[in-house]
Structure 1
């Protein structure tokens, strides 16, 4: 099993495997690497003839087999992708809608794929805390397994430094270390935070104060995910994140403040969206990073203005209870999450 930074090095060297199974929480990052592989191996003028993509929830084995066995046309390779291959999840069925055990057939065939073809399928986690499944591990000796996990330590610093350099900006070791400690270890966030810092610093060096001023703390991403699960009517997932934040030692009152703040921003975004304001305008008006603004605008689609107002009212009621009534704070926070998730 390799991580995506190792895959990146292999792509740069022009070294490719016959088959890849990718997994992780960040689907966009997975798609970006599939595009990198395709761009290297398939003649763009004939992309429609040498690139096949199938929905993992409906695909059958014969469709995959026929695509992989077809000779590429005016191109070095043929690339076949199965996206959102949910049959790779431990809690999912191996069978497609026709009752075919697609997982078993792929296990038997994957080592026989012709050299002319590259097979890629990927599985997206429901949340960042999910781990590699047993079904994916069953392919370890037969395909290249690529983990799209969060970056850590020196690997994170190396990637962040490369991003700054790609934007024509150098950054000191101390500042780089501080930057990596401040931002969430998600490549999309790192790219956008680096872009923001480069634009802000312009021709001068990036300083500790710049990073302190502009970069969002990691906890904000946990709160974003918590609220996101509430918006998807998945309170059990939101409570998992709540428990993890509280286990780290964060007080219920602080978490509540951050949740309430998130809903207040979303309310302003929702009102702005209904007035026809653009992402760029709202980002500037609310002083949000353009990437964060875009994600929160998507989140807002699951909330009406009325529902957001009710969510804020529930937060205020919970705040009063935490201050004035006895009882376990954790229980009150869990009840808040459930009550917001069932709002109509």
Structure 2
């Protein structure tokens, strides 16, 4: 992630673009800017426009408006660039050209901020902002960078956490920074001495959906039926869709079958990552999980999952929201039978 500006609003250039996948950092930066602006100029001179519905003339009008009882206005335009389509009408294309031309003359009394989750860097408007203003990209944190952020955030909020526990917390939440923010607050409220341990995380943190699925498959691989059942029912208790749980289990075992095949062929991590188009940090974890099963076990599991899928689609196993008992029973039976292993040939 590119570092956030430390300048105050009244010292800034007046044309900016904030964008990036890390929507938590993106929103936090905008929040800091608004707070800084309000402290200096008050909130009456802040205007936020929905870029998906507003016209170019609305943006220009908002920028040209005279500040009320203040020196500056802050105009925030959300999702304007990403909402522009390549097959625009001639009128809209002319409007965009007019906006690009206007950016050269945004009055000094206005700070104009475009706010986007994603942008097409080939578009003329992006190029113009890059040329005339300042662009800040907020990228997702990965690996040690995310763990370091957790360490710093916990410390900033008056708590303490070891680096290895910060890594574990990141894994538990699937590296979702929005959830991490909530879980850090929850952990610090839970701990009187503010020292966060691995046990605290296990007791308090709601595991990310993908992480829970991974943990479920791990328990199956370890032949730990009780843990697998607990994780399965934990997902149901959280209100996760039963069909979504099932299809994520299918997806995970399909991945493991592919990984196991490549491991048996003696491919290294880099090749496996490339062939399966994995995120690099996933590869060693998936390889380790795949080795909990033999190739034959994974084939048998996937065969049974495929049969269940057919039974759902043909109506043999009811899977409607108000009739899920048989579906749940089928999955529970597979879990109890040590992860579908041991000669299971029928599940219904």
**Superposed pair shares fold, TM > 0.5:** yes
Match of 2:107 in 1: 114
Task: For 1:192 and 1:70, locate their aligned partners in 2 and report how far apart those are by CA, in whole Å.
Answer: 39
Task: Answer with 1 or 2: which has the greater Rg.
Answer: 2
Q: 1:54 aligned to 49, 58, 69, which one?
A: 49
Q: 2:29 aligned to 24, 30, 33, which one?
A: 33
Post-superposition Cα deviations, 1:45-83, rounded to whole Å, max 9, x if no partner, equal 8523x1222221221222211221223223342111112
Unmatched 5+ residue regions in structure 2?
214-239, 256-275, 277-281, 291-297, 306-318
Match of 1:104 in 2: 97
Task: For 1:83 and 1:243, locate their aligned partners in 2 and report how far apart those are by CA, in whole Å.
Answer: 36
Contact 1:67 1:80 in 2 (8 A): yes
TM-score (norm 2): 0.56
Q: 1:18 aligned to 14, 18, 24, which one?
A: 14
Q: 1:70 aligned to 65, 84, 95, which one?
A: 65
Post-superposition Cα deviations, 1:254-283, rounded to whole Å, max 9, x if no partner, equal 9x99xxxxxxxxxxxxxxxxxxxxxxxxxx
Task: For 1:315 and 1:38, locate their aligned partners in 2 and report how far apart those are by CA, in whole Å.
Answer: 49
Contact 2:151 2:163 in 1 (8 A): no
TM-score (norm 1): 0.56
Contact 2:171 2:211 in 1 (8 A): no
Task: For 2:320 and 2:22, locate their aligned partners in 1 and report how far apart those are by CA, in whole Å.
Answer: 28
Contact 1:60 1:96 in 2 (8 A): no
Task: For 1:27 and 1:17, locate their aligned partners in 2 and report how far apart those are by CA, in whole Å.
Answer: 23
SS of residue matched to 1:164? helix
Match of 1:184 in 2: 174
Q: 1:134 aligned to 107, 114, 122, which one?
A: 122
Post-superposition Cα deviations, 1:176-217, rounded to whole Å, max 9, x if no partner, equal 343334433333211111112212221152222222443345
Q: Considering only aligned residues, what root-mean-square deviation do their CA atoms show, in Å?
A: 4.6
Identify if the C-alpha distance between structure 1 residues 44 and 208 changes in structure 2 by more than 3 Å, giving closer, same or farther.
same
Match of 2:82 in 1: 88
Choose 11-20 or 162-171, whichever is displaced more.
Answer: 11-20
Deviation, 1:37, is: 1.0
Choose 29-38 or 160-169, whichever is displaced more.
Answer: 29-38
How many residue pairs end up in the alignment?
254
Contact 1:10 1:16 in 2 (8 A): no
Identify if the C-alpha distance between structure 1 residues 204 and 144 changes in structure 2 by more than 3 Å, giving closer, same or farther.
closer
Unmatched 5+ residue regions in structure 1?
126-130, 224-229, 258-305, 327-344
Matches within 5 A, 1:1-344: 3=2, 6-7=3-4, 9-11=5-7, 16-25=12-21, 30-42=26-38, 46-48=42-44, 50-85=45-80, 87-88=81-82, 92-93=85-86, 95=88, 99=92, 101-124=94-117, 133-135=121-123, 137-138=126-127, 139-203=129-193, 205-217=195-207, 220=210, 246=255, 247=276, 249=286, 307-309=320-322
Task: For 1:189 and 1:33, locate their aligned partners in 2 and report how far apart those are by CA, in whole Å.
Answer: 17
Identify if the C-alpha distance between structure 1 residues 204 and 194 changes in structure 2 by more than 3 Å, giving closer, same or farther.
closer
